[in-house]
Structure 1
Amino acid sequence: MKNIILATTALVATAGVAAADVSISGYGRFGAVYSNNADDWNTASRLRLQFDVSAETDGGIVFGARQRLQTEENATGNGGNGARFYMTTNGFTLAMGNILGVIEAAPNLYLSTKSAGVGLEGNGFYSLAANTSSNGGRFAWTAYSSGGAGATEGVELLYNMNGFGAHLHSTDVSTGLGLNYTFSGYTVAAAYEDFDNGDSILFASVGGTIGQVDVALAYADTEFGGASAQKWSLKGGYDFGTGLTVYGFVASEDSPANESYGLGASYDLGGGVSLEGGVTKTDDIADDTIISMGAFFSF
């Protein structure tokens, strides 16, 4: 697949450039996080600067790249990440470098919140069906890396047209396929990533919006290092129309048995500024309660 995609790139690389665009966006967040296991409150912060550049040929083919600078509290994750390069035309997108990955880009994987999880920082992202004890964390799958290190270099091909989406990726350690379809405000999705060492992740979901309510049901079957687990996650939120949105999730994993749930709220102050807060409870070996809260602003 890599050879086919690279050959496609070569066919359009000689087209003339007609237009170019450069944009800078990002967000900042700061507040506090508490863990019952650590029995302590700590400061929490992140500043993200995102650079998007693109140029369009006379034939309407867009070439572009994305790179981020991100700093966490105590200067961790400081510096730029690996760039993602792409070209797109007629619903097709070819990308390489710091790719998205089919699991990471699958609809309904994350909560539709500012942190993509619960509260200001995500609270461990227990709401993710693919985040199981067998794979040890949310980035065991191929994913776009925002930090200065850890990016999985690869190549991917995406297609989106008339509600249908398809996604293929290939790296030095895995291949993946994702499919999704949107109809009447609902999206169904499935994605599978197979690793060269025998590990794998299967993810499936359905979700949509009804008036002021959004809801999603997700399932994942993961196998890593000889250990396997299945997990369900039900999540949703309600927009009161007054600037306040309340959301939550419940999740259940079979091996080892782990029930988790969370509740959070976001209050929009206008101008891209909001107050975020939430609590997550896990019923496993860790048996932890995590709270994070603070301010978020986008630009």
Structure 2
Amino acid sequence: MKKVLFATTALVATAGMAAAEVSFGGFGRFGLYYQENDNEIGSSTRIEQRFRLTATGVATSDNGLKFEGRIRFQTDESGANPVQVGGAGAGNIYTGGGYGSSNVAQRSAAGFAVTSGGFRLDVGHVSDVIDSGDVINYYGYGVGLTSFVEQSSGWALPASGFGTSGDDARIDPTIKLRYAMGDLTVSGSYTDGAETVIGDTTPTFISEAEEWQLGVGYNFGNYSAGIAFGNRSVDLTDEDRATTSVDNDFWAATFGGDIGAFAFSILVGDSDLQDDTSYGFSVKYDISAATDIRFAFSDNGFDVADEAYGIGFRHSLGGGVSLRGGIGQNIAGNSVADLGVVFNF
């Protein structure tokens, strides 16, 4: 992400005080998105739109420790069909949805980081090991304007990252520690979920969850490999103090690299919640310095889901602007296509 510097050396009061800076960066995208619908409500084609703005503050202490903090603002199209109220006899009254309309910009909780040499500590609203890309490539080469197909599309493995939420959202804090030494990277994360009350009428449930992830990755020449594993446990207590526990062990491994103009990524994973092992892959081929074509495939390991796949392209227009598009099938078995422009700033 190319950052536009908002203020540099905003605090230089004395010679012994380190410099601080605040920067803004992000991207915008807009175009057309098509999805085959299984119902007759709403149009299959809509306007696709997203605008993301991330504010980052950085300060460096006298002993060289780098401190960071960031928040994000983002607005998206709805992409949801309205729902009929009261069933078929409700007189065609619908609620919600707003297919293709844009929400008012949402905001994020704060994420923090401290870096020193090969060590980096992330705290707060931050990515876990799988989402961060520290040791594995979970998403691969996404297809289309919206990356509607990735090599992990529809997977059940926990992969939580930095994002935006509604006004009433509560974000569980995550602690992640990464150490990189040469071609070797080791990373671990822990998320401590606060108690959450579900429902405002009886029966009322209290949900508690915690999650940990560990991973290691290694680069060798033009290739890289990594593995991550972890556990997520959830306790659900009802009004009679009866507790139901769900314990989910999971893992994911990846291998990828590039050979000249060709690049690839392979992903395999599993969890206790799945019917079968998940697997996916994605490839990219550079036709020229400005244009590449890409293909992605995902089987999420659930018997009720279809395989997702798609083929697309990206063409650079220069200045951080690119034309992107693709066509394929999602995990619901519906055809999907999109086309539009992305500009980074």
CA distance in 2, matches of 1:212, 1:87: 36
Rounded to whole Å, the distance in 2 between the matches of 1:196 and 1:63 is 32
The count of aligned residue pairs is: 269
Instruction: Supply the AA of the counterpart residue of 2:229.
Output: Y
**Match status 1:177 vs 2:204:** no
Q: Does 1:57 align with 2:61?
A: yes
Aligned to 2:129: 102
Please report how far the alpha carbon of residue 158 of structure 1 lies from its aligned counterpart in structure 2 after TM superposition.
Answer: 1.0
Distance 1:143 1:33 in 2: 25
Quick check: 1:176–1:191 contact (8 Å CA) kept in 2?
A: yes
Q: Which residue of 1 aligns with 2:286?
A: 239
Counterpart CA distance in 1 for 2:289 and 2:213 is 41
- Cα distance in 1 for partners of 2:145, 2:172 equals 26
Cα separation, 2, equivalents of 1:216 and 1:150: 34
Bigger strand fraction: 1
- Could you tell me which residue of structure 2 aligns to residue 152 of structure 1? 172
For 1:104, what is the secondary structure of its paired residue? helix
Partner in structure 2 of residue 293 of structure 1: 339
- Whether the 8 Å contact between 1:17 and 1:56 is mirrored in structure 2 is no
Q: Hey, what does 1:23 align to over in structure 2?
A: 23
1:268 counterpart = 2:316? yes
Tell me what 1:215 maps to.
Answer: 264
Equivalent residues in 2 for 1:119-198 (5 A)? 119-123=144-148, 125-128=149-152, 131-132=154-155, 135=156, 140-148=158-166, 149=169, 151-172=171-192, 173-197=210-234, 198=247
Structure-1 separation of matches of 2:68 and 2:185 = 20
Shift of 1:18: 1.4
**SS at 2:106's partner residue?**
coil
Q: Name the aligned partner's letter for residue 76 of structure 1.
A: N
Q: Are the equivalent residues in 2 in contact too, given 1:102–1:193 (CA < 8 A)? A: no
CA distance in 1, matches of 2:17, 2:121: 18
Distance in 2 of aligned mates of 1:127 and 1:181: 20
Residue in structure 1 matched with residue 105 of structure 2 by the alignment: 78
* 8 Å contact from structure 1 (residues 250, 261) kept in 2: yes
Give unpaired runs (5+ residues) of structure 2: 1-15, 78-100, 193-209, 235-246
Aligned-partner SS, 1:88 = strand
- In the TM superposition, structure 1's runs of 4+ consecutive aligned residues that sit over 6 Å from their partners are none
Identical-residue share of aligned pairs (%): 29
Q: Which runs of 5+ in 1 are unaligned?
A: 1-15
Alignment pair present for 1:250 and 2:297? yes
* Counterparts of 2:334 and 2:17, CA distance in 1: 54
Aligned to 1:205: 254
User: CA 1:185–1:62 in 2, change beyond 3 Å: closer, same or farther?
Assistant: same
Offset at residue 126 of structure 1 (A): 4.7
- Cα deviations across residues 130-161 of structure 1 (Å, max 9, x unaligned)? x33xx3xx7x4332224454643211111112
1:72-107 per-position Cα deviation (integer Å, ceiling 9, x unaligned): 123437222011101110211111111110111233
2:139–2:150 contact (8 Å) kept in structure 1: no
